[in-house]
Structure 1
Amino acid sequence: MNMYKQISLCLPLLFCSQLSLADWIDDSVKNVEAHTIKLREHIHQHPELGNMEFKTSELVQKELKSYGIEVRKGYAKTGVIGVLKGAKPGPVMALRADMDALPIEEKTGLPYASKAKAMYQGAETHVMHGCGHDAHTAMLLGAAKALAANKDKIAGTVVFVFQPAEEGGADVDNFSQGHLIGSRKMIADGALDNPKPEVIFGMHVMAGMPSGNILYKDGAILNSADHLRIQVNGKQVHGSMPWLGRDPIYASSQMINNMQSLISRNADLTKGMGVVSIGSIHGGTTGNVIPDQVNMVGTIRSNSEDVRQGILKSLPKMLEHNAAANNVTAKVEIAPYAPVTTNDKTLTKLMQPTLAQVNGEDKLHVLDNNASASEDFSYYGQLMPSLFVFVGATPADQDMTKAAPNHNPLFIVDNATLKTGVESHVRFILDYPKVAEQVQADWKKMQAAKK
């Protein structure tokens, strides 16, 4: 082929370069796919609870070192940081995966199903990767392998963040010691200090969504979450003579009803939604004795920081006044788990073409509303522009309405979705430097406006 024909085939030049870029990305992702699946199945078969991911952490370190990536440890007990410097100058970018499993007995019947048991809050329990963190860890390792093999094409530095205890710690009081685990502890321990990323990307597999599909939205994508604990103290008395005692059960019932008014009558719902739920209530031992104490545990959720803060401010006062009206006392404790997970609007908009390149526009969907669950990825997003997306995890030939949800003993992740996750991570790193200047400029303006 003569030079003229070669040049003509490459017109326009940009189109030609994009094709060549796509070719090497596709090839590199395919090259690591089998290894990624193998890693995922191994991690799935050997799950570890939050703060106890010792073997998983060792596996991550071993893999990263084998790819030629610098490994750092000593963060949040079992957390791992990998650092890969590209051949070209550019920004510092972070990719995050969580590693912990759940205290659930697996019932999937998969050949690599978990049979593991471990100690959780002082009692032995079955352990299962019932939320897909095994897939998250494997996908990020697959991306690390692909990027390390092509570091000559990377503009900037990649920080791989392998975080423990997103679901909470197995060995701590998650109510009072939440700051000692997960993303908060990774940040406190300096995991993101040197080098310091200017942007971070994360993803989560989701049941009931076909493999190969990616879902995203700008702004709030996951709710905030705060833990609620209430102790109502009264005076024990025979059930036939309630006037001689102080009834914490009746008072508790009034509190549960009145808490709902914080949303229906006090929250500005033009700013977002909120929900207060009591999931545990304990009091009394028999039917003819009014007890002296009732203990309740619940959760507070919102997709608006304004609504969230309004609830957190008003709730203790409301419960204390309610208690006084019923001649009992109430001790109210609120412990934060996670703020609203918020996608940076500029970053989300500018990375949309990147997401579309993974499996095509028809596999990319904008969420109408945020998901109601919560994620401690949100703490990273308070420090820098962030983008968090969902990746479909259910085989495309299955009925999506019948797929077992995350946190279910029958929850599965289709191995076919791992390729989507790996490629998304790779493309985030390759494309972000092209939009970094605008993202950072808008982020700085937004931060200045908050002051």
Structure 2
Amino acid sequence: MMKKLLLLSLTAIGLPAFAQVNLKSQAAKKADALEQKVIAWRRDFHEHPELGNREVRTSGIIAKHLQSLGIEVQTGVATTGVVGLLKGGHPGPVVALRADMDGLPVTERVNLPFASKVKTQYNGQDVGTMHACGHDSHMAILMGVAEILSGMKKDLHGTVKFIFQPAEEGAPAGEKGGAEQMVKEGVLQNPKVDAIFGLHISSAVEVGKLTYRPGGTMAGVNDLKIVVKGKSAHGAYPWQSVDPVVVSAQIISSLQTIVSRNVNITENPAVVTIGAIKGGTRFNIIPESVEMLGTLRFFTPADEKLVTENVKRIAIKTAEAFGATAEVWAPYTNHYPVTFNNVVLTQKMLPTLQETAGKSNVLLVPPVTGAEDFSFYQEKVPGLFFFLGGMPKGGIGLTAPSHHTPDFYIDESGFTLGVKTLCNLTLDYMATNGK
């Protein structure tokens, strides 16, 4: 029935239905044939990871591949980003597809023949470097999509922008980068993008499955800094001090009431986390100040305002109650909007996800409190961001090694589904949004 409806809708807009089905069939066969090539690209990227705004080798490989396919290529976007432009043989919408490129300052512990041994500097520290979030997979998948779609260029009813983005995990201190910077440098213009699609592989979703959510799918985030200033004294005479350590402890405890007592968690989740606290130099000296760093997560602008204002009020007023002072920065260095899947676009493209993976393998999931800077694209144009299964079959999601950890692991057999899905989203969007 679903295929019949799709054929009818395609015929209604004047694009021969059989031609569209034939293109998707070609794409599927090519994706199967490209599987080992995609895996090889991924392994190469995995063995040679580069941190945000440092993806020089990585972007060079991508640019060379796109150029070899006859795609117009722009390099150096937002420092190391690569943008490919594929103009189809017929007029139609502009579809953007995005993959992120950066690795993380994590030392790999997985026993793989292509495991990363790379060491580098991050924030002045010597660190290992690893693709501990799957960005290597995203790049390889999109390179496969570019190869397939470029091979059917004359039959495409529209234009495809391939966006290979640096620094999704955040630019180094004092630098600009990521999706926000790419948007500022015009990646969604010339030609103007009509819709954007992106995927993220998941170590906790079984291979062969896709997950999605309309509306708020990943949290917006503000990082947080609080500095509490008191009065220093000898640890043996605490009555002579205004102890910022004790004040900070009270603040941390009180901050936990924001989610439990202020946020309506029946509507949207929220998170207030203090991840670092620094103060003092010696066991018997009460310090003059304490610094706390944390993260705030939310799914609506109203909840962002609620959480942020309550953090500031609690920190400042608690400090005042003890005779200390508190300064609060939220956001401190970065802010990501909510990753918001356009509801109309998601509904329109859901049949494509279901057709590609099988209806039983496409799962509606709760929101995720992780964040993604794909959200900056979605602020400007309708976007759909979904998750691709990367956990071996039979695995248990709750016990699978988490993203951003040394043991992060991805089953490569899921890559072909990612290639097919991005191809089909592009072809179906073009077919149903002809200009």
**TM-score for both structures, normalised by structure 2:** 0.92
Q: CA deviation at 1:191?
A: 2.0
Asked if the contact 2:210/2:363 (under 8 Å) is kept, the reply is yes
Output the CA distance in 2 between the equivalents of 1:150 and 1:32.
Answer: 15
The CA deviation string for residues 255-274 of structure 1, in whole angstroms up to 9 with x for no partner, is 11222232233334454121
The CA deviation string for residues 407-437 of structure 1, in whole angstroms up to 9 with x for no partner, is 1212122111111111111111101124438
Asked if the contact 1:350/1:435 (under 8 Å) is kept, the reply is no
Asked if the contact 2:219/2:371 (under 8 Å) is kept, the reply is yes
Q: Could you tell me the percent identity over the aligned residues?
A: 39
Which residue of structure 2 lines up, in the alignment, with residue 408 of structure 1?
405
Which residue of structure 1 lines up, in the alignment, with residue 420 of structure 2?
423
Which residue of structure 2 lines up, in the alignment, with residue 29 of structure 1?
31
Q: Does 1:201 align with 2:197?
A: yes
Q: CA deviation at 1:313?
A: 2.9
Which residue of structure 2 lines up, in the alignment, with residue 391 of structure 1?
388
- In structure 2, the residue corresponding to 1:125 is in which secondary structure? strand
- In structure 1, the residue corresponding to 2:34 is in which secondary structure? helix
List aligned pairs for 1:128-139, cutoff 5 A: 128-139=130-141
Q: Does 1:192 align with 2:188?
A: yes
The CA deviation string for residues 188-235 of structure 1, in whole angstroms up to 9 with x for no partner, is 122222112011111100012111110011111111111001111111
Q: CA deviation at 1:141?
A: 0.7
- 2:309 partner amino acid: K
Among 291, 298, 301, which residue is 2:297 paired with? 301
Asked if the contact 1:234/1:329 (under 8 Å) is kept, the reply is yes
Output the CA distance in 1 between the equivalents of 2:183 and 2:297.
Answer: 23
- In structure 2, the residue corresponding to 1:260 is in which secondary structure? helix
Which residue of structure 1 lines up, in the alignment, with residue 108 of structure 2?
106
Asked if the contact 1:271/1:304 (under 8 Å) is kept, the reply is no
- In structure 2, the residue corresponding to 1:246 is in which secondary structure? coil
Q: Which ranges of structure 1 fall in alignment gaps of 5 or more residues?
A: 1-9, 441-451
**TM-score for both structures, normalised by structure 1:** 0.89
Which residue of structure 1 lines up, in the alignment, with residue 165 of structure 2?
163
The CA deviation string for residues 29-76 of structure 1, in whole angstroms up to 9 with x for no partner, is 123222211111111110001111011011110010011110012211
- In structure 2, the residue corresponding to 1:416 is in which secondary structure? helix
- 2:212 partner amino acid: Y
- In structure 2, the residue corresponding to 1:111 is in which secondary structure? coil
Which residue of structure 1 lines up, in the alignment, with residue 3 of structure 2?
none
Output the CA distance in 2 between the equivalents of 1:263 and 1:394.
Answer: 31
- 1:300 partner amino acid: L
Q: CA deviation at 1:317?
A: 3.1
- In structure 2, the residue corresponding to 1:103 is in which secondary structure? coil
Q: Which moved more, 1:279-288 or 1:180-189?
A: 279-288
Asked if the contact 2:231/2:287 (under 8 Å) is kept, the reply is yes
Among 343, 363, 366, which residue is 1:365 paired with? 363
Which residue of structure 1 lines up, in the alignment, with residue 337 of structure 2?
339
Output the CA distance in 1 between the equivalents of 2:166 and 2:401.
Answer: 24
Which residue of structure 2 lines up, in the alignment, with residue 83 of structure 1?
85
Which residue of structure 2 lines up, in the alignment, with residue 217 of structure 1?
213
Output the CA distance in 2 between the equivalents of 1:342 and 1:348.
Answer: 10
Which residue of structure 1 lines up, in the alignment, with residue 244 of structure 2?
248
- In structure 1, the residue corresponding to 2:423 is in which secondary structure? helix
Asked if the contact 2:276/2:292 (under 8 Å) is kept, the reply is yes
Asked if the contact 2:91/2:158 (under 8 Å) is kept, the reply is yes
Output the CA distance in 2 between the equivalents of 1:152 and 1:244.
Answer: 80
Q: CA deviation at 1:400?
A: 4.3
Q: CA deviation at 1:102?
A: 0.7
Q: CA deviation at 1:16?
A: 5.4
- In structure 1, the residue corresponding to 2:433 is in which secondary structure? helix
The number of equivalent residue pairs is 421
Output the CA distance in 2 between the equivalents of 1:399 and 1:311.
Answer: 33
Asked if the contact 1:393/1:413 (under 8 Å) is kept, the reply is yes
Q: Does 1:118 align with 2:114?
A: no
Q: Which ranges of structure 2 fall in alignment gaps of 5 or more residues?
A: 1-6
Q: Does 1:172 align with 2:173?
A: yes
- In structure 1, the residue corresponding to 2:271 is in which secondary structure? strand
- 2:132 partner amino acid: G
Q: 1:21 to 1:74 in 2, by over 3 A?
A: closer
Q: 1:16 to 1:69 in 2, by over 3 A?
A: closer
Which residue of structure 2 lines up, in the alignment, with residue 148 of structure 1?
150
Asked if the contact 1:341/1:378 (under 8 Å) is kept, the reply is yes
- 1:224 partner amino acid: G
Q: CA deviation at 1:398?
A: 4.1
Q: Does 1:330 align with 2:332?
A: no
Among 432, 436, 447, which residue is 2:433 paired with? 436
Output the CA distance in 1 between the equivalents of 2:269 and 2:392.
Answer: 32
